[in-house]
């Protein structure tokens, strides 16, 4: 994604061929050593030519070779760990890193305690203030003013379980007086659209991708989402009641750990991926039929927000450079 998004934002980018090591037996693992060796050489050349004053790694595969190259030359390095369960790349780089910015407490189980700064995760600025945007959002998405709105987010590519859960319960949700603003994702949009058109339902509003997220958050009464690190951090700023359906298909089940960091503070509800299809409406009912519970979740979610995360990370970076 970044190979498209970064140039669109006006910045040059260089890619490395490094890829992840598959945890199961796979032919793809045979090429891993060669990709890693080539990436290390490329990273060393990039660092030599660019001559950075500091290097930041956010845990992706490509950050490994680049930070290794920087650390070997004595260039200050900063790690940013987005999840509540540290990724392998960051754990390997932590010993020689100068500073480690995290989003959750208790990360000293993975990193040297003296290097840790709890900063939160950077998120988009346009969601910091949603006041006055609900009416605009209702008009923009063509929503009814007399129905509670459920916002379903499966990411830009989509999440099959979330889509199947909406399909299973969408008639019941509409009959119960709700409306759904549903981001299906790129991979599933055509399939979901065909099934929605067959249903004849009028209050299930399907989108392949939602760009106007501030408006989507503003109209939502309940949000159903995966529990990726940045999604969780963003939703904490929104302060609406959330049902997390963590993806089970991620390393170390870190999405469940992300979600539980909020559930344990009574700041969100959890619906297991294996139980989501057939149980979505029940969870929505549980929230929307209990105003006190919905309010408590939203308030507690806001308490865990860190709106100045980007500034805090930049301040730490400037300290390292100076």
Is 22 in the same domain as 100? yes
Whether the Cβ atoms of residue 14 and residue 46 lie closer than 8 Å to each other: yes
pLDDT confidence of residue 25: 63
Binding-site positions for UDP-N-acetyl-alpha-D-glucosamine: 83, 124, 156, 210, 229-234, 255
Is residue 126 scored above 90 in pLDDT? no
Domains of the chain: total = 2
Is 113 in the same domain as 179? no
Domain with residue 297: its CATH number is: 3.40.50.2000
Is 203 in the same domain as 240? yes
Is 294 in the same domain as 316? no
Among the listed ranges 155-164, 176-185, 257-266, 296-305, which one has the minimum average pLDDT value? 155-164
Is 65 in the same domain as 168? no
Q: Give me the percent of the chain exceeding a pLDDT of 90.
A: 84
Is 268 in the same domain as 179? yes
* Residue 295 pLDDT grade (very low, low, confident, very high; cuts 50, 70, 90): very high
Per-residue pLDDT averaged across 199-203, rounded?
A: 97
pLDDT confidence of residue 23: 60
User: From CA 245, how far away is CA 154, in angstroms rounded?
Assistant: 9
57-71 per-residue burial string, b: 16 or more CB within 10 A, e: under 16: bbbebbbbbbbbbbb
* Residue 128 pLDDT grade (very low, low, confident, very high; cuts 50, 70, 90): confident
Is 206 in the same domain as 67? no
Binding-site positions: 83, 124, 156, 210, 229-234, 255
Average pLDDT, the chain: 94
Is 157 in the same domain as 297? yes
Is 130 in the same domain as 106? no
Is residue 102 scored above 80 in pLDDT? yes
pLDDT confidence of residue 157: 67
Is 53 in the same domain as 90? yes
Q: Give me the percent of the chain exceeding a pLDDT of 70.
A: 97
Instruction: Tell me how crowded residue 302 is: count the other CB atoms within 10 A of its CB.
Output: 15
Q: What domain range includes position 296?
A: 126-303
Is residue 125 scored above 90 in pLDDT? no
Whether the Cβ atoms of residue 262 and residue 103 lie closer than 8 Å to each other: no
pLDDT in tens, 233-247: 999 999 999 999 999
pLDDT confidence of residue 22: 62
147-159 per-residue burial string, b: 16 or more CB within 10 A, e: under 16: bbbbbbbbbeebb
Is 159 in the same domain as 290? yes
Is 7 in the same domain as 88? yes
């Amino acid at each position: 994604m970044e190979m498209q998004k970064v140039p669109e934002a006006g910045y040059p980018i260089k890619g490395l061929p490094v890829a992840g090591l598959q945890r199961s037996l796979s032919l793809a693992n045979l090429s891993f050593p060669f990709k890693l060796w080539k990436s290390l050489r490329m990273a060393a050349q990039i660092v030599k030519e660019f001559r950075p004053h500091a290097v930041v790694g956010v845990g992706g595969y490509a950050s490994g070779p680049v930070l290794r190259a920087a650390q070997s030359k004595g260039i200050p390095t900063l790690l940013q760990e987005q999840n509540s369960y540290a990724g392998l790349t960051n754990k390997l780089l932590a010993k020689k890193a100068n500073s480690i910015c995290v989003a959750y407490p208790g990360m000293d189980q993975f990193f040297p305690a003296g290097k840790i700064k709890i900063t939160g995760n950077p998120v988009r600025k346009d969601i910091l203030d949603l006041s006055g945007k609900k009416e605009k959002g209702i008009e923009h998405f063509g929503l009814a003013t007399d129905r509670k709105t459920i916002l379903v987010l499966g990411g830009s590519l989509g999440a099959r379980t979330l889509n199947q859960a909406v399909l299973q319960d969408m008639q019941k949700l509409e009959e119960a007086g709700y409306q759904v603003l549903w981001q299906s994702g790129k991979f599933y949009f055509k399939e979901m659209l065909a099934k929605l058109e067959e249903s004849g339902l009028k209050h299930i509003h399907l989108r392949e991708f939602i760009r106007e997220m501030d408006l989507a958050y503003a109209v939502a009464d309940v949000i159903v989402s995966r529990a990726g690190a940045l999604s969780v951090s963003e939703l904490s700023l929104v302060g609406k009641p959330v049902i997390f359906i963590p993806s089970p298909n991620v390393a170390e089940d870190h999405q469940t750990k992300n979600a539980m960091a909020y559930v344990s503070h009574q700041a969100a509800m959890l619906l297991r991926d294996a139980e989501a299809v057939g149980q979505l409406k029940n969870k929505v009912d549980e929230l929307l039929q209990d105003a006190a519970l919905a309010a408590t979740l939203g308030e507690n979610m806001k308490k865990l927000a860190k709106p100045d995360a980007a500034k805090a990370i930049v301040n730490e970076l400037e300290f390292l450079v100076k």
